[in-house]
């Protein structure tokens, strides 16, 4: 049942219970201290009366005189009772008081004994006499009992009122302290796919709630960023798919408008096949990009010689380079830990990009440099420089710089550099870009061998 209560109710109940326990403990201490204080006062008073009686006994031997003196002592204080004993009997000066329990009690010096007799509660001491026997002095406790009863009643009333007030104050403090949570709740209710820019308030909050708000704001920022990327990706994807699909539909509709010869049909089918290949490549790249961006683990970790991997790619791109009138060169070597296919894909994307935008009769240079903290593989080509304003967007999906780069007929679909960045992030590295006339440099930065293990 306690779990079903609201947080404010739980805090109120807990605060009231804690207050009640603390107040109960304080009440017990006050009652106990009052009781012990009365015991000490009574002991001092009884010992004082006992000393007076003993002096009278020492100064007079006449029993009548002694009895008269003792009666005067008792008359001076209501509820005081005195008795003398010898080896055989008890001789109480006051009638109707049973001192037998006090006489039988084994008391050390400075101790009192409480007992009940005749409807009264008495507290007494037992002092040995030099003449033999004991001097018994007792005090009626009805005044103390009345005071203690009133004290207990007052403490109980105070405890009840204080507990109620503590509960009310606890409820007020909880309501006020958890006010920012209610504000967060109201703001959270307004968050949807169209309002991901809403943030939780961090001002006027306790440090704990401020930390919670900051954590939620960071989460909302990540969600907004991811949702924005998904929205942009969907928009870009629709835009990219529209062109080949429109081309396919237009060519097919045109070819079907009238009878044509087999050569025209073959040309149309060949053109459609190119568009289908472009669509297939686009879908494959998108699936690969989605896989790498979802924090994929490296399928296979092994030592890789970057120079060896680059030479293997040179064999593949040699024909493309000859057709473009570009020469490939390699300098340096270093070993990294990574996945062979993913590393080759990253280097291949940069080589393809370099060959696509290099001037004729130029050189696409690949250099590998081992540094203390990183291993860098750079691909440099000579060509038109990239506008500095475009560099931050080079790794966005479907982004192309056709207007400022040559050979638009060979441009890709704008996913190569995005895939390269994702592959490098999977290896714990990154990609750098610099472009100054006439060289453009893309650099893959891998962590060192020791860091990758």
Do residue 254 and residue 304 come from a single domain?
no
Model's pTM, two decimal places? 0.51
pLDDT top residue among 161 and 246? 161
- Asked if the structure places residue 250 within a domain, the reply is yes
Do residue 17 and residue 125 come from a single domain?
yes
Do residue 251 and residue 394 come from a single domain?
no
Q: Name the percent of the chain lying above pLDDT 90.
A: 22
- Asked if the structure places residue 114 within a domain, the reply is yes
- Asked if the structure places residue 387 within a domain, the reply is yes
Do residue 236 and residue 156 come from a single domain?
no
Do residue 417 and residue 329 come from a single domain?
yes
Do residue 145 and residue 247 come from a single domain?
no
Distance of alpha carbon 440 from alpha carbon 388, whole angstroms: 11
Give the domain extent around 371: 298-452
Section 87-100 average pLDDT: 60
- Asked if the structure places residue 363 within a domain, the reply is yes
Do residue 268 and residue 369 come from a single domain?
no
Lowest mean pLDDT among 39-48, 195-204, 209-218: 195-204
Do residue 155 and residue 16 come from a single domain?
yes
From 270, 291, 312, the end of a domain falls on 291
Whole-number pLDDT of residue 404: 42
Whole-number pLDDT of residue 108: 75
pLDDT top residue among 422 and 75? 422
CATH code at position 125: 3.30.450
Q: What is the pLDDT of residues 108-156, one digit of tens each?
A: 777 899 988 888 899 998 888 776 778 888 888 888 888 889 999 999 9
Number of domains forming the structure of the chain = 3
Do residue 323 and residue 393 come from a single domain?
yes
pLDDT top residue among 165 and 294? 165
- Asked if the structure places residue 23 within a domain, the reply is yes
From 259, 291, 323, the end of a domain falls on 291
- Asked if the structure places residue 197 within a domain, the reply is no
Do residue 151 and residue 6 come from a single domain?
yes
- Asked if the structure places residue 329 within a domain, the reply is yes
Do residue 351 and residue 245 come from a single domain?
no
- Asked if the structure places residue 184 within a domain, the reply is no
Whole-number pLDDT of residue 292: 63
Do residue 331 and residue 434 come from a single domain?
yes
């Amino acid at each position: 049942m306690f779990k079903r209560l609201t947080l404010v109710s739980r805090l109120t109940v807990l605060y009231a219970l804690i207050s009640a326990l603390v107040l109960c403990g304080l009440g017990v201490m006050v009652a106990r201290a009052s009781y012990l204080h009365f015991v000490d006062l009574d002991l001092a008073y009884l010992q004082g009366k006992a000393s007076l009686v003993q002096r009278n006994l020492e100064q007079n031997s006449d029993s009548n005189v002694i009895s008269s003196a003792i009666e005067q002592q008792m008359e001076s204080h209501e509820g005081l009772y005195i008795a003398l004993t010898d080896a055989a009997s008890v001789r109480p000066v006051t009638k109707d008081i049973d001192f037998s329990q006090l006489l039988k009690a084994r008391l050390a010096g400075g101790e009192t004994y409480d007992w009940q007799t005749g409807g009264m509660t008495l507290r007494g001491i037992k002092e040995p006499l030099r003449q033999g026997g004991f001097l018994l002095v007792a005090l009626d406790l009805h005044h103390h009992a009345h005071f203690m009863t009133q004290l207990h009643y007052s403490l109980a009333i105070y405890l009840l009122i204080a507990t109620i007030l503590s509960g009310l104050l606890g409820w007020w403090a909880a309501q006020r302290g958890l006010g920012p949570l209610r504000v967060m709740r109201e703001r959270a209710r307004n968050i949807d796919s169209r309002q991901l820019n809403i943030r939780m308030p961090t001002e006027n909050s306790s440090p704990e709630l401020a930390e919670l708000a900051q954590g939620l704001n960071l989460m909302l920022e990540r969600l907004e960023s991811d949702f924005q990327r998904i929205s942009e990706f969907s928009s870009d994807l629709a835009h990219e798919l529209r062109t080949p699909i429109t081309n396919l539909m237009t060519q097919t509709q045109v070819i079907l408008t009238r009878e044509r010869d087999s050569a025209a049909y073959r040309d149309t089918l060949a053109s459609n096949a190119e568009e289908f290949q472009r669509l297939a490549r686009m879908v494959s790249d998108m699936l690969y990009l989605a896989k790498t961006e979802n924090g994929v683990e490296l399928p296979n970790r092994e030592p890789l010689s970057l120079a060896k991997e680059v030479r293997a790619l040179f064999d593949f791109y040699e024909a493309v380079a000859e057709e473009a009138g570009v020469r490939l060169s390699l300098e340096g070597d270093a070993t990294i830990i990574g996945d062979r296919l993913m590393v080759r894909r990253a280097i291949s994307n940069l080589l393809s990009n370099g060959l696509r935008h290099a001037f004729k009769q130029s050189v696409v240079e690949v250099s590998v440099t081992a540094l203390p903290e990183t291993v860098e593989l750079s691909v440099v080509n000579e060509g038109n420089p990239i506008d500095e304003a475009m560099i931050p967007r080079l790794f966005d999906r479907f982004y192309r710089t056709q207007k400022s780069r040559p050979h638009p007929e060979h441009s890709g679909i704008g996913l190569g550099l995005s895939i390269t960045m994702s592959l490098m992030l999977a290896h714990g590295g990154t990609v750098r870009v610099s472009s100054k006339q006439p060289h453009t440099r893309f650099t893959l930065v891998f962590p060192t061998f020791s860091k990758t293990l």
